Structure 1
Amino acid sequence: MNRVSADLRADGSSGATRYAFRAVAATSPSLDSSIDIVVCVPSFRRPQHLWLTLESLANQRTERRFAVVIVENDAVQHESVPVAAQFLASGKVPGLCVVEPRQGNCHAINAAFETAMTTFPTASSLLMIDDDEIASQDWLETMTRSAETTGADVVGGPVWPDFDDDMKRGLRQHPAFRPAYDSSGPVPVIYGGGNCLIKRPVFTKLGDPAFDLGFNFLGGGDYDFFTRCRRAGFRFHWAAEAIIVETVPNSRTNIGWLMRRSLRIGVINYYIQRKAAPTVWSRAQLIVKMFAMLPFSLFRAGRVFLSERKAVVAMHPMIVAVGSALATVGFEPQPYEASKIVL
């Protein structure tokens, strides 16, 4: 993945240099640096929903002290800053809002975690929620208790869709929306960062930046991060009761968006596996594997159709396989570039 290595070289500066780009836009009236739990909220052009996300954090049923770190990733319009400032000024939850001027999904997430660990040097549990999500009232308590009782290094939880159009409820079973696991317990890996808790030692071992900048505009930086966590020997746990609800607009339920999402998943899968294939021979084997998945995906699609009876769901494995095959010849969509984002 040429873009990955190029972006890493371009950002190979020291941590201090990178942090210097970020400006603190707002803080709460009081900020206790000894807080042990921090919730990170990357934000980009969703000011109305950001308020709902932050309010859901303020409504958490827990006795645990926690703070929030909000990252504004739109250095031009700054739509999230007034919302974050108003929330922080209310004193409901302590924290701060910083502006990460370098646009990109991974830039924003790295800024959130790096700011959290710098501002709260003793914080051991770092959680993340997206700015189009609503946390259930027991979310934070369930996530942190799961980490404590299981000793897991990474805890994940379900993100259930809340469709603007109730007629789209049948898409809950589509892999783009269905959580990876149904019940709580140890799992081999989690796939998304929209509902996660990561223990501080994970960041120390994986190095800096934590989220590979090559996935900035493609997406999948979270899956790549968790894949590296698994290879490093970290343990995962799934907390099925730690529910988050994601608002899904109509623009994300049409057949075109779903097909592009499936294609992108295939591309992400290829690039993550390619990172683990260092030799010419291993990469050649990977390419053969990607193309071999095409006929196999037809069999999988048939099985899915027989169980779900929905063509749009059954098409997913086929389109994922196509995406992986196209990635071997350089296909790399960039849906998270500012000019291409459809909220």
Structure 2
Amino acid sequence: MQESPSQPVRGQYLISIATYMRPDGLKRLLDSLTSGDEIADVVVVDNDPDGSARTIAEQHLAVTFYAIQPDAGIAQARNRGLEYFTAEYDGIIFVDDDEWVEPDWFIALVSYLESSDSDVIQGPVITCLPQDCPTWIRRGGFFQRERVASGTPLLSAATNNTVLAREAWVRAGEPRFDPSFSETGGSDWDFFWGLRRSGARIVYCNEAVVSEDVPASRLSAKWLVRRSMRSGIVHSRVRLKYRDNPYRALVRGMPRAGYYALLFVRGLVFDRIIAAKPFTVVSFEIGKILGLLGYRTYEYRRTNNGAPVA
């Protein structure tokens, strides 16, 4: 395992932000990007055809480019950001519009990329629960992603706190995010899985921290089950797409699911607690089965008024 160094950044970087009807979150993120010492170009891709983010983006000092992607879909918005990823940049950083970054985030993330032999660096996301969060969610440790040591290899990555080296992207054929994942979610997992399969090395950097809030609509068992199952579905879909032993992964996951199911029951009976990891693992493994059967959850499908379902 490596420890993340802190040293001057040598390359030029582009920060890509896909946004959809989150003006307050977008402004907070952009404000946080100006709190550090390093400067990167920023492209804001507005997935609202009416351009609801235009005023914030065009008036903010952090923003270099603003673009509207009228075609609905998170993959389409991410792909529009890739159009700005030209040869003048050494890497592209993806961060979500409901997050904010720490002052030393940029240096930690990028200097680790430059000093290691890796092609993709994923950093941690710290979830901030609201004051009125249900007690069982807080006690169980839900929404808190597992953090591992810097240098830990990863199978894939998400676009919530990640830098991708241009050289690796070009070497892989300049891939794009798959629009078939736009309404279901998982286009980022598919994208980075494909990059790893092409030879890119993906590792974790524990020091490059971003934070996020949890909206009230997600504070329910129904949402948590659906999200974990969706992750399992995406996992199977991606393995099927790349012919990457999806059925072997399912068989290997069955004992794991059984073990965590027992832990889940034990927690309920003896500790009177719904623990996040057993809950999530069992739901994830069920999702893997559903994914192989062709089942889909449409987490990002928009309603008639344009708002996302979730």
Q: TM-score normalized by structure 1?
A: 0.77
Aligned twin of 1:183: 149
Is this contact kept in 1: 2:109–2:205, CA < 8 A?
Answer: yes
Aligned twin of 2:5: none
Is this contact kept in 2: 1:294–1:322, CA < 8 A?
Answer: no
**AA aligned opposite 2:274:** A
Aligned twin of 2:55: 82
Write the mapping of 1:94-113 to structure 2, written as runs, cut at 5 A. 94-113=63-82
Distance 1:288 1:37, change over 3 A: closer
Deviations 1:303-337 (A, max 9, x none): 36658953252222222222222222321111112
Distance 1:238 1:337, change over 3 A: same
Corresponding position: 1:71 with 2:28: no
User: In the comparison of the two structures, how many residue pairs are matched?
Assistant: 291
Secondary structure in structure 2 of the residue aligned to 1:161: strand
Q: TM-score normalized by structure 2?
A: 0.85
Is this contact kept in 2: 1:66–1:94, CA < 8 A?
Answer: no
C-alpha displacement of 1:246: 0.8
Corresponding position: 1:267 with 2:233: yes
Distance 1:305 1:227, change over 3 A: farther
Aligned twin of 2:141: 173
**AA aligned opposite 1:323:** G
Q: Which of 147, 158, 163 is the aligned partner of 1:197?
A: 163
Aligned twin of 1:232: 198
- When the two chains are superposed, the root-mean-square deviation of aligned CA atoms in Å is 2.5
Corresponding position: 1:241 with 2:207: yes
Distance 1:263 1:122, change over 3 A: same
Corresponding position: 1:338 with 2:295: no
Distance 1:159 1:303, change over 3 A: same
Aligned twin of 2:4: none
**AA aligned opposite 1:101:** P
**AA aligned opposite 1:98:** A
- Structure 2 gaps of 5+ residues are 1-10
Aligned twin of 1:27: none
Is this contact kept in 1: 2:267–2:274, CA < 8 A?
Answer: no
Deviations 1:77-115 (A, max 9, x none): 32211111121xxxx335011011111111111111222
Is this contact kept in 2: 1:41–1:128, CA < 8 A?
Answer: yes
C-alpha displacement of 1:227: 1.4
Distance 2:69 2:150 in 1: 35
Q: Greater share of helix residues, 1 or 2? A: 1
Distance 1:101 1:240, change over 3 A: same
**AA aligned opposite 1:248:** V
Aligned twin of 1:221: 187
Write the mapping of 1:1-343 to structure 2, written as runs, cut at 5 A. 36-60=12-36, 62=37, 64-75=38-49, 77-87=50-60, 92-115=61-84, 117-118=85-86, 121-165=87-131, 167-168=133-134, 170=138, 173-174=141-142, 177-277=143-243, 286-287=246-247, 290=250, 293=253, 296-303=256-263, 310-311=273-274, 313=276, 314-339=278-303, 341-342=308-309
Is this contact kept in 2: 1:50–1:131, CA < 8 A?
Answer: yes
Distance 1:268 1:152, change over 3 A: same
Distance 1:275 1:190, change over 3 A: closer
Is this contact kept in 2: 1:265–1:320, CA < 8 A?
Answer: yes
Identity of aligned residues (%): 25
